[in-house]
Structure 1
Amino acid sequence: MKPIAGAAGDVGHLELGMFGPNGTGHSMSKVPERWYPTWENNRDLALAAEAAGLDFHIPFARWKGHGGESNPQGAMLDPIVWAAGILAITKRIKVFTTVHTPFVHPIVMAKHLATMDHIGPGRVGVNIVSGWDREEFEMFGIPLREHDERYEYTKDWLDVMRTLWTADAPGHHRGRFFDLPGLIGEPKPRGKITLMNAGTSSAGRAFAVEHCDLLFNILVSPEACREEVATVKEAARRVGRSIDVYTTACIVCRPTRKEAEDYHDYYSREMADWPATDHLMQQLGMDCQSFSPEFYATFRNRFAAAHGHCSIVGDPGHVAEEIRRIRDTGVRGLTLGFIDFASEFSYFKDEVMPRLVDLRVRRPPG
């Protein structure tokens, strides 16, 4: 097996991190063991993830659940406060926050991020979200802009933050959406804030390529992901930039493949919250341009299982091999989701992560 150049200069090293433990997880399932986001279990998970050698932590940002019987993502710790807390208790792991640009003023967000970088210097990232959920916008009393205009707004929003982080004297920011005299902010971040965007529409992809360090891409299949990674990197090269790609997978790992498949069927079919699933798909189909209606019809069960993301289901050897296939697409990082982060990550750490070292997917710990 020929390893590829990976993260942080390590040949073959795939970054791994948690995704969404500040909420109830990815699934639209009614199973009672589904993760619930208390601060105590988030604290313990972050410390366990860092001790195991994981590279990053990324939160969800949701303001309203998806309804149904279980109301997935209805309970969620604020991603900005959460990130500051995780930074304060860890020493090495990179911690992202997630922000909806229409809901947080850029002057306020620039201060939040600069403060975070003083708590955890050089370990701060921000997942920049332009917004898509009409019901959340209605709850805030803010109009949902036309799709491509959302990214134009976000570009102006980001320019304000960058000015605050770099300007040594007050200036006047004059943009399409912000006209801000006397713009200045202290303290500055101590290091670079990593910028990530998850836009998969053409406008979202262009924004990420031109302005961000990372694109968060939905994994439909390793084959499709390989093509998308190559396309994204070529687009960045054409504008004189470089960008890396993260993707995500929900992990169902058990001692045998049958046990894993049986549990996956149980939580994503028998115990699926179909009203919540259909509500999520309807929301995305109405106000997000990432996928076609045919995609949603085909992948209804995939939404119930993992919010539309890929699931890796099997015994430890199979899970490790599937992660190797994902690494070989050229992605820099893989975010991990679990039904119950605590118990399932413990098994993943013990049984899968050593296999990833053996497969040269990750460097040895230490």
Structure 2
Amino acid sequence: MSTPSDPIKFAYWVPNVSGGLVISNIEQRTSWDIEYNRKLAQIAEASGFEYALTQIRFTAGYGADNQHESVAFSHALLAATTSLKVIAAILPGPWTPVLAAKQIATINHLSSGRIAVNIVSGWFRGEFQAIGEPWLDHDERYRRSEEFIRSLRGIWTEGSLTFAGDFYRFRDYSMKPKPIDPQPEIFQGGSSRAARDMAARVADWYFTNGNTPEEIRKQVDDIHAKASANNRSVKIGVNAFAIARETEDEAKAVLDEIIAKANPEAVQGFADQVKNAGKASPEGEGNWAKSSFADLVQYNDGFRSNLIGTPEQIAERIIALKNAGADLILLGFLHFQEEVESFGKHVIPLVRRLEAERQSELIAAE
């Protein structure tokens, strides 16, 4: 958990999957190929972004006809940069803990410690069926992910790991070389009870879908209380889709065009899958339980964070999310290269100024 004086961090979704970050036929000057993404990573690094998050998809759908594998792609981006940290999405089932541990430890050495992982428990049943992976019940998927994370940490930190779980077992297993310290950060997402409880027990970072500061605060308080009970701390990343323009009307016009040009069949197909996944949780809710059609045009409710307007408005809303407990903002854009650069030039400096002003106020009040 960060303190109020810690600068909020910025990350971006890596478009290693075709179709961009919205399910819409609007023009997106974004490419999933490696040359575009190498340049994007360099722009992001120079613009004040500290993290990039690669995606994992094994099957086509919702405009994502082409998908580059996340771990290999993450390594390519690390090789093209010097300070950017890249978070590789890993899906238990296709990956085993020992394979992931070995891959990430190697990349950790090759990149001077700049690789992290996002453990994705899975929500798309059709994908698992297509690749011949068993589909577990909702909470079972999170139990498997927790064992996966515990196994990863054990392999990375213990001289000899013995672990007996329901999904993974190790007997006197020793892997060398270990990752260099600090150990690779472990991210995890989800909004269900099982996801939040798992994060409180084992994750370093918890990703949540876009939402208002008030709703983010509820999740933050819940996770921090549970983590504290486990003598742990967990940082919070919030998803958002940014549309920064000279005027609020211009920004809202872009949003309206994205939604007007949405692919209704693809959005509805996505809605059916994710809402079925949420209903499978014991509480009958998941990440997208309260999402509207417009919300679902952006995969992770990014519009709901409302980073749509002038740079000044966006900076103030980022501070509101920070005040609600967010430690990181995970951003999607329509035209990644030019908008990441513009965000770094026009929005991040305003955020830093507001943070400095707030810090001065706190010091003056002491």
Matched, 1:274 2:268: no
2:149 match: secondary structure: helix
Partner of 2:164: 174
Deviation at 1:131, TM superposition (A): 1.2
Equivalent residues in 2 for 1:329-348 (5 A)? 329-348=324-343
Equivalent residues in 2 for 1:231-242 (5 A)? 231-242=222-233
Say if 2:199 and 2:223, in contact at 8 Å, map to a contact too. Answer: no
Say if 2:92 and 2:148, in contact at 8 Å, map to a contact too. Answer: yes
Question: Aligned to 1:137, which of 128, 133, 137?
Answer: 128
Tell me the TM-score normalized by structure 2. 0.89
2:246 match: secondary structure: coil
Question: Aligned to 2:185, which of 187, 194, 199?
Answer: 194
1:360 match: secondary structure: helix
Matched, 1:215 2:210: no
Say if 1:29 and 1:268, in contact at 8 Å, map to a contact too. Answer: yes
Question: Aligned to 2:116, which of 106, 120, 125?
Answer: 125
Question: Aligned to 2:72, which of 63, 81, 84?
Answer: 81
CA–CA distance in 1 between the matches of 2:171 and 2:3? 45
Structure 1 residues 230, 362: closer, same or farther in 2, change over 3 A? farther
Question: Aligned to 1:308, which of 301, 316, 327?
Answer: 301
Matched, 1:283 2:273: yes
Tell me the TM-score normalized by structure 1. 0.89
CA–CA distance in 2 between the matches of 1:200 and 1:260? 28
2:144 match: secondary structure: helix
1:77 match: secondary structure: coil
Deviation at 1:246, TM superposition (A): 0.6
CA–CA distance in 2 between the matches of 1:280 and 1:186? 42
Say if 1:61 and 1:98, in contact at 8 Å, map to a contact too. Answer: yes
Say if 2:147 and 2:165, in contact at 8 Å, map to a contact too. Answer: yes
Say if 2:15 and 2:21, in contact at 8 Å, map to a contact too. Answer: no
Q: Determine what percentage of the aligned residue pairs are the same residue.
A: 27
Say if 2:40 and 2:337, in contact at 8 Å, map to a contact too. Answer: yes
Matched, 1:100 2:91: yes
Say if 1:267 and 1:305, in contact at 8 Å, map to a contact too. Answer: no
Matched, 1:16 2:10: yes
CA–CA distance in 2 between the matches of 1:294 and 1:229? 15
Q: Deviations over 1:71-124 (max 9, x none)?
A: 2x3322211011111222222122111100111111111111101110223322
CA–CA distance in 1 between the matches of 2:219 and 2:86? 25
Structure 1 residues 342, 168: closer, same or farther in 2, change over 3 A? same
Deviation at 1:189, TM superposition (A): 0.6
CA–CA distance in 2 between the matches of 1:296 and 1:273? 20
Question: Aligned to 2:57, which of 59, 62, 67?
Answer: 62
Q: Deviations over 1:48-75 (max 9, x none)?
A: 11112211111111222334xxx2x332
Long gaps (5+) in structure 2: 359-366
Matched, 1:184 2:174: yes
Matched, 1:247 2:238: yes
Say if 1:57 and 1:95, in contact at 8 Å, map to a contact too. Answer: yes
Partner of 1:91: 82
Letter in 2 for 1:279: G
